[in-house]
Structure 1
Amino acid sequence: MMNQWQGKKVAFLGDSITDKNHIGTKKNYWQFLEEFLGIKAFVYGLNGWKWDGVKEQAEILYHELGNDIDAILIFMGTNDFDNGIPIGEWWNIQNEEVFSRGRTLTLPRRIFNTDVKTFRGRLNHGMSYLKDHFPEQQIILLTPIHRGFADFGGDNVQPEESFPNNSELFPEIYIEQLRQAGDIWSVPVIDLYRLSGLLPIRDAHSRYFHDEKTDRLHPNALGHRRIAQTLMYQMLSLPAGFR
C-alpha cells in the first residue's frame, strides 16, 4: 500500500512487547507494520524496562543513527505501573523576575520536573532528550494496553488490572499521564489502551494473549497484529517525519 510511511525509518522504544527477542509471540507489532506500511523498523525496546530508561534507549538510537531516522514510537509505561512508581508532579515552581508590559514583575515560573523516581518526572526526563535531539522527527507516544494476569514463576506473579499496584493506584492513572504528556510535549498519542480493543481480563480475549492461564500480559501474534492494525490507521493520519 503506497502511503507516506513507505520506506521511512522508524525507531521503536519500549519494553517486552517491543523487544526483538519475542516474548509470548512469534511476530511483533512492528514486524506487522513493516508489512502493512512498508516502514523499516529499528528496535530498541527491552524486556522489563520502564520510562526511566527511555532516555538511555534514545541515546543508543542517537549514537547509532543520529538524525537519520524519520519517526520514533515509544510504547512504555506498564512496568512503571507494576512497580508502583509514584505519579509525582509535572513542574517545579520557582519565583523569577520577568519584564511584562512595561514593568518588572516577580512571578511564579514552572520548570519541568525530571525526577526519575516519579512517573511524571520520568516522562519529562525522556521527552526532554527526545525533543532536544530529534526536532525533525515525528515522535509518537503509545499508551500501554490493558493488563491481564501473569505468573512467571517464583515471586513474579502479577495480578490483573482489577487490583491496584503497591502505591494503591490503578493503571488508568498512568494512562492518563501519558495522554497529558502528549499535550505538554506537543506530540501525538496513539491510545492503544482505548483503541486496540484488547481486554485480557475478559476470557473471550484470551485468544489474543500468550497463555490463557499463565500469561495474559503479553499478546500473541494475533494480539500483535491487532495492535499493528490499530497503529496503522492512526499513523496514516500523521506526517511520517519532518526532514
Structure 2
Amino acid sequence: MTTPPDSPTHPYEPHHGAFGSRLNWLRAGVLGANDGIVSVAGIVVGVAAASAERAPIFTAGIAALAAGALSMAVGEYVSVSTQRDSEKAMLKLERRELATDPIAELDELAELYEAKGLSAATARTVAEELTDHDAFAAHVDAELRLDPDELTNPWQAAISSAVAFTVGAVLPLLAILLPPPSIRLPITFVAVLLALVVTGWISARLGGASPQRAIYRVVIGGALAMAVTFGIGHLVGGAVG
C-alpha cells in the first residue's frame, strides 16, 4: 500500500489526529451554520418582498429551516457512511496484508520511514521495533493515518450538521419576524451580513486562511443571494397580486 500524500513528515512527530478531527468538525459546524443563515435568509427575504404578512414569512422560514436541516443531515450521513466504509475496507486490507506477507509489510514500513528522511539502518530499526510492539497500529498510522478506535461517525455528522444549520437559520428567521414591516428587510440584511462576517472570520481562523478573503466571499455571496431572492419575490409577488 502507498502512503497518503499528507502523511507526517517525521516518524516521531504526532499528527494530532484527534485534535485535527475536532477542528474539522468545528469548521464543518461553522460552515453548516453559514449555510443555514444564507439559505433561510434568501427564502424569507424573497417571501417578505412579496408579502408583508408575518404568517407566510413564518411558514416559509420554518419550512426552509426544517428542509435544510434534514437535507444537511441526510447528506452528511450518506457521505460519512461512505467514508467510514472506505476506512473499514482499508483497515481490513491492511490486516490481510500483514497476515499473508509480514516480511513485505516490514520492508514497506522501513521504506516509508526512510522516505521521511531516516537512514536505511535507522528506518529498519524503527520499523522492526514498531512491528514488534504492534504491527497493525504501526502500519495504520504510517500509511493510512487512521485510528481504528476513532473512525468517522455518520450519526454524529448528521446530527451536528442539522444542529449547525438550524442554529444559523434561526437568526434570519428572527430578524425578519420580530421588527415591524417597515424596517424588517433592512434589519434582516444587516443582521445576516454581520453574522456572515463572524462565520467567515471563524472559518478562516480555523482553517489558517486569510480572514479578509473569507469574509469578502461569504458576505458578497450572502448579499447576492438575498438581493436575487428579493428581486424574484418582488416580481413574482407583483405578478400574482
Check whether TM > 0.5.
Answer: no
Higher strand residue share: 1
Q: Which one scores higher on RCO, CA 8 angstroms, separation ≥ 6?
A: 2
Instruction: Normalising by structure 2, report the TM-score.
Output: 0.23
Instruction: Normalising by structure 1, report the TM-score.
Output: 0.23
